[in-house]
A and B are shown apart, each in its own frame.
Chain A
Amino acid sequence: MFAIDNFCYVWYKIVMFNQKIYTPEQVAEILQLSKNTVYQLINRGEIVAKKIGKVYRIPAVSLFFTLTGLDYDLYQAEQKDLKEIPRIQREISKVRLSL
C-alpha cells in the first residue's frame, strides 16, 4: 500500500511539485562529501538519481535518506505522528502511574 516504488515516487514528486534538482557536484557540496563518494552513493542506491544521457540529476527529496536514514515518504509519515506524540505520551504516563 505505502510501498510505492521509491524511485517512481521521487520523480513523481519532482514532476508534480516542481522540486529542486541538483547535480552530483552540488550534492557533494551540500553534504560536504567528495564527488567520488556521491557517485558511489548513487551506484549503491543510497542516493536516488536519474541518469539523463551521460549525467546524473538528483532530486532534493532523495537526499532525505542520506540525511535521515529514512525514505522521504517514511520521514513524512513519522513527522505526522510526532506532532501528536507528546500529548499521547503524557496521557500514557499518567495512566501508567495509576495502574
Chain B
Amino acid sequence: MKRKITAFVDSDVVISSLISKLGAAYFLINETSLKFFISNISLKELKVVVKKLGLKNEALERLVKKQFYITSLKTDLKKIEEKYKDYVMDINDSHIIAGVVKSKVKFLITYNLRHFNVDKIKRDFDILIMTPARFLQYLRSL
C-alpha cells in the first residue's frame, strides 16, 4: 500500500485554517490523503491563541481530533531550545523543530519561513519547509 505523505504543521497554519475556509491552509488541512502532525506543546499554544483571537475552542478540538496526530515532546523547553537553537531565528520557535524531528516527517508547513534556518534543516534532517500553497502545488506535480 502507498504510504501517506507526512507533514508537521506550524500553529500559524492551523489557526489560518480555522479563520478562513477559502485559504490555502484550510484546503491543505482538509486534504485527507496526507498525514499531519502537531506536538503536545503546539497544541498547548494553539489553545491559548485560539482563545486570544476569539475563535472557538471546540472547532480547534474537532479539527485536531479529525486531522492530526499528536507527537509527544518532553516539556523541558530549555533542553529543546538548547538542542535546536541553531535551526531557528527566534529561540521560542525551537519546539517546532523538535516536533518535526520527533514526528519523522518530510515536510514542515508554515507561513513563518523567515524564522527557520531552511538550508540547515534540509541539510541535517532532510526536511523541506513550505507554505501551504507551495506544498499543495508540490502535491499537484506528483
Contact = CB atoms under 8 A, between A and B. Distances in A.
B137 A91 contact: no
A99 to B, nearest CB: 6
Given A71-B140, A77-B22, A85-B111, A96 B45 contact: yes
Nearest to A81: B23
Q: For chain B, which range describes its interface: under 10, 10 to 19, 20 to 34, or 35 or more residues?
A: 20 to 34
A89 interface: yes
Interface string B37-76: 0000100110011001100000000000000000000000
Interface in A62-99: 69-71, 74-75, 77-78, 80-82, 84-85, 87-89, 91-97, 99
Given A78-B131, A81-B111, A85-B16, 14 more contacts: A1-B30, A3-B140, A77-B23, A77-B27, A77-B132, A78-B24, A81-B132, A88-B15, A89-B12, A95-B49, A96-B92, A96-B93, A96-B95, A97-B92
B100 interface: no
A78 B22 CA distance: 9
Given A88-B53, A89-B111, A99 B45 contact: yes
Interface of B: 11-12, 15-16, 19-20, 22-27, 30, 41, 44-45, 48-49, 52-53, 77, 90, 92-93, 95, 111-112, 131-134, 136-137, 140
Given A81-B20, A81-B111, A91-B52, A99 B15 contact: no
A64 to B, nearest CB: 11
Interface in A19-53: none
A77 B24 CA distance: 5
Interface of A: 1-3, 69-71, 74-75, 77-78, 80-82, 84-85, 87-89, 91-97, 99
Contacts of B44: 99
A89 to B, nearest CB: 5
Contacts of A91: 49, 52-53
Given A74-B133, A75-B133, A84-B20, A92 B12 contact: yes
22 contacts: A1-B27, A74-B133, A77-B22, A78-B23, A80-B23, A81-B24, A81-B25, A81-B111, A82-B111, A84-B20, A88-B12, A88-B19, A88-B53, A89-B12, A89-B112, A92-B11, A93-B92, A96-B90, A96-B93, A96-B95, A97-B92, A99-B95
